Structure 1
């Protein structure tokens, strides 16, 4: 190789070594630092003289030394040509710096004997901290999920116990009071208890299932669920003098999770009744529409309405309420949106203050 080319090559190496944005070092076979660049000094806080007085194990976390040494051995005996590992270094101040270490080595051009190692170190401390934070959050979430599972187990068990007691009491009442057998309100009470038991069964299935929402979705008749929801809240609608109009097509089937679909319809119906206007005859009109990929459940009311210019962005947020009612909790719409989206659907809203609100729930066709 001409002398001029050799000089250019050497100068190029010096420029790359000195000005590399990451730490670069030449390390002897005795593991002592032979040459370090400015980036490595900045990364670990030691001066050039301090580096040359140490070996790399001196500032390597003790738990990472063995793995590094093992790979160096493989490099020297020819088993590998290079390696890359994540390891911890001690900064001069004592803090731990995570580095992504890449190592190769230079051989003698005469006899091929190993001369020294070339190490490149990229600072990955921030990435490791973020991964640690994510793992901590995941761990907390897993603990909370386990607590929720336990709570759900206790809740469904205890509610079922009370439900059984109510069923026994209603049976006693029916036996002792013959007139109740044909009483409309008493029949509605019995049906409501039956529907509640069905809901508890569905919740129990969700609690026990380890499958994704997609795997738990089945073909469900939309009108059957609307009919059931209307029956369950019919007494509330009568009390609030709110007319319920059901024009949902009985031929439409949707892909859904039963307990989610039930919750969505009940939430929209109870909200529409709760926020009905006292200034006019109230109604809630339900109908179904068909699009290319979805069956659309439309729930329209002539109630108090929502100021969309003010509340559009926070409409489905947790604990957000839009009317001054003491019993408003801001959970129903949050759950509704989450249920709909978990089933692969979407929900839209149109509303005008003191005119009414229209929710459209897009559910996947069966």
Structure 2
């Protein structure tokens, strides 16, 4: 190879070593710094001369030193070819520098260890962001726990007081017949009844919490759909509703039995409740696999929903979209929360006077 080409090659390697944005260092077998590039100097705050007078052990956090030295020994013994760890260095100003350290070993022609090549990537910002995120998540978890406890206490107390009010009212109704005819007494009765219903709804909402993974089991979707159809068979007959079950018999979902029952029944009864008087009601149930989910489709030919008008409020509590006297706006809210507590989601397509398709994404078992 011509001498000028060798010189050019040497210069090229020197430029790569000096100007790469990541830290590169040649480290001796005992841990002494042999050569460092500008990035190492910048990351650690020491000049080249200062680094050459110390070893990496001198500026490594004590909690990270043993794992680094152990891996070095494994390299020298030939049991590993390289290693990568996260470790902490002390900056010259005393601050902590988090680094992603990648190390390989160069040997001589007889296989003896010569020196280590270390790549040092400063990840202090990423680690700081991760710590902040963990703190935020811990605070959020604590706040959620407090809110959950608060909701439990409030709903328990409200339920107790509402129940007492209803009992007192019933005593008055039995003992004071003259009050029964009073218009204000009737208004009071209606208010107490509504209060009890509201407390009942709030109690159901308070029960919805994130589900622990261990409580979720593998359930056959078709079996639960078949059971739900049987449970609403009388209602379907009375409303001239045909339910077509095309759910795949092999589809298994990760869910809690009571939640899956509730989800299916709510969508079935809603489809019957909001049927069109212009045609016989038909509900088609089917399922498919999409990535890690079993997608359960509930398609009806009912009244449909104006999604442009109501789409953003569809699953909110106490929101109703048809003049149905039985509608209270709690079913879809609870159903959506059950689905999301299982790690799923729900999507909806609908056209007014044509029908609606709800697509429930449940984690595949």
TM-score range normalised by the length of the shorter chain = 0.5 to 0.7
Paired with 2:33 and 2:129, the residues of 1 have a C-alpha distance of 31
Q: In structure 1, what is the equivalent of residue 270 of structure 2?
A: 221
SS at match of 1:168: helix
Residue 319 of structure 2: aligned partner: 265
Q: How far apart in 2 are the matches of 1:131 and 1:262?
A: 34
2:52 is matched with 52
Q: Provide closer, same or farther for how the CA distance between residues 203 and 78 of structure 1 changes in structure 2, counting only shifts above 3 A.
A: farther
Q: Deviations over 1:57-106 (max 9, x none)?
A: 11111111011112112211122111111111111000111111111111
Indicate the residue corresponding to 1:63 in structure 2: 63
Question: Which residue is equivalent to 1:161?
Answer: 160
Given that 1:223 and 1:250 are in contact with CA atoms closer than 8 Å, whether structure 2 keeps it comes out as: no
How far 1:107 sits from its partner (Å)?
A: 1.1
1:87 aligns with 2:87: yes
How far residue 7 of structure 1 moved from its aligned partner, in angstroms, is 4.2
Instruction: Report the aligned-residue RMSD.
Output: 4.0
Structure 1 residues 19 and 161, CA gap change in structure 2 (3 angstroms): same
Residue 25 of structure 2 corresponds to 25
- How many Å separate the matches in 1 of 2:181 and 2:301? 29
Q: CA contact under 8 A between 1:223 and 1:252: conserved in structure 2?
A: no
Structure 2's unaligned 5+ residue stretches are 212-254, 275-299, 306-313, 349-354, 360-365
1:44 Cα offset (Å): 0.8
Is the 2:346–2:358 Cα contact (8 Å) retained in structure 1? no
Cα distance 1:10–1:113, how it changes in 2: closer, same or farther (>3 A)? farther
Does the Cα contact within 8 Å between 2:89 and 2:99 map onto a contact in 1? yes
**Structure 1's 262 and 142: CA in aligned 2 closer, same or farther, altered over 3 A?**
closer
- Going from structure 1 to structure 2, the CA distance change for 1:22 and 1:184 (only over 3 Å counts) comes to same
2:159–2:200 CA contact under 8 A, matched in 1: no
Q: After TM superposition, give the deviation of residue 15 of structure 1 in Å.
A: 1.2
3-state SS, counterpart of residue 319 of structure 2: helix
Report SS of the residue matched to 2:143: helix
Counterpart of 2:41 in structure 1 is: 41
Cα distance, 1:47–1:262 mapped onto 2, change above 3 Å: closer
1:142 aligned counterpart, secondary structure: helix
How far the C-alpha of 1:196 sits from its partner, in A, is 3.5
- Aligned with 2:111: secondary structure? coil
Following the alignment from structure 1 to structure 2, what is the Cα–Cα distance between the partners of residues 223 and 176?
42
1:365 paired to 2:358: yes
CA contact (8 A) 1:25 1:34 kept: yes
Task: State the 1:159 CA deviation.
Answer: 0.3
Say if 1:222 and 1:265 are closer, same or farther in 2 by CA, change over 3 A: farther
Q: 3-state DSSP class of the match of 1:25?
A: strand
Secondary structure of the equivalent of 1:118? strand
Aligned residue pairs, count: 258
Cα deviation, 1:25-52, whole Å, max 9, x if unaligned, reads 0000010000011111011110111101
CA shift, 1:224, in A, is 6.7
Tell me the CA shift for residue 4 of structure 1: 5.9
- What is the distance in 1 between the residues matched to 2:356 and 2:89? 54
The Cα offsets for residues 207-258 of structure 1, whole Å up to 9 and x where unpaired, read as 3344469967442528979xxxxxxxxxxxxxxxxxxxxxxx996699xxxx
Counterpart mapping for 1:200-219 below 5 A: 200-211=199-210, 217=263, 218-219=266-267
Alpha-carbon distance between aligned partners in 2 of 1:195 and 1:253, rounded to the nearest angstrom: 28
Equivalent pair of 2:304/2:356 in contact (CA under 8 Å): no
